[in-house]
Structure 1
Amino acid sequence: MLFGSRLASEVYAPWKGEYLNYDGLKKLLKENVYPLEWTAEDETRFVEALDAELEKTYSFQTKTFESLSARLGHIEDTISNSNINGKDGSEQFDCTKLEPEIEDILVMSQQLDKFTRLNFTGFTKIVKKHDRIHPEYSVKPLMQVRLNALPFHSEDYSPLITRLASLYAFLRANSGSSTAASASAKLQSLSNDQEAEFTSYKFWVHSENLMEVKTRILRHLPMLVFNAARNNDDNESESYDPTITSLYFDNPDFELYDAKLQKNDVSPSLRIRWYGKLSDNQEVTLEKRSIEHHAEDEYVPDEKINLKLKNVQPFLTGEFSLEKYIQKMKDRHIITDNEIDGFKTTANSLQSFISEHNLQPVVRAVYKRTAFQIPGDDSIRIAIDSDVTFIREDSFNETNPSRNRTDWHRTDIDDSTVKNPLSLLKNDQYAKFPYSILDIRIKNPRHKAESKDIAFSSSYSNSLSKQQQLLQNFNTKKLKWITDLTSSHLVKEATNFSKFIQGVASLFAEYDKLDSLPYWLPELDKDIRIDPKQAWEKEREDKKKLKISGGIRIKEAPKFDVVPEEEDSNHRELISRGYRSQSTEAINNNFADYDNESIADEEFEHELEQELDHEASLERSQNNHYGSTLQRNTSKKPNHKRVKSKFSIPFLYNKDNVSKLSFDSEDEEVVLPPGVFKPKTLIRQQGPVKVETKVWLANERTFNKWLHITTLFSALTFTIYSSVNAASDSELATLVAYILFGLSLFSGIWGYFTYMRRLNAIKARSEAHLDNIVGPIIVAVALLGALIINFTARWIALKNEVARDPTINSFWL
Structure 2
Amino acid sequence: MKFGDHLNERVFSPWRHYYVQYDYLKHELKRRQLSEFGWTGEDEEEFAHILETELDKVYDFVTAKLAEVEARINYCEKTLRITTSSPTTASTSQRQMVDDTLTEALFDVNDLAKFTRLNHTAFLKIIKKHDKWTDYRLHENFVPKMRENPLDKQRFDVPIVYISALHDICRGTRTPSPYAQDNNEDDGVFQRATAKYWVHPDNVTEVKAILMLHLPVYIFGKDTTTKMDIKETDSAISSVYMDNPQFELYEGRLQRDQGAEAIRIRWYGDMKSNPLFIERKTHHAPWTDDFRSLKERFPLNVDEVPAYLAGTPYKGKQQNMFVANGVQDSIKNKNLKSTLRVFYNRTAFQIPKDQRVRVSLDTDLTFIKENNKSYWRRPDVGVDYPFPYLEEDEVLRFPYAVLETKVQTHLGQAMPDWLSRLVESHLVHEVPRFSKYLHGASILYKDKIPLLPWWHSELAADILKPRDTEFGLSRSASFKPLMDGQYLFKSAMATEHKRIRVASMRGKQDGSTSDSSSSTDKRTLISSWSPQKQKYHQITLGQSVDTDDHNVNNINKKGRALVPQSTTVINTASRKRGGFIAKWQEQFQQHVMKQNSATNGGVIPLRKVKVEPKVFFANERTFISWLQFCGLLLMVALNLLNFGDGAAKIAGSIFICIAALVALYALYRFEKRAWMINRRIAGRYDDLWGPIVLCILLVGALIVNFYLQFGR
TM-score by length of 2: 0.40
**Larger of the two Rg values belongs to structure:** 1
Which of the pair has the greater relative contact order for Cα pairs under 8 Å at 6+ separation?
1
TM-score by length of 1: 0.35
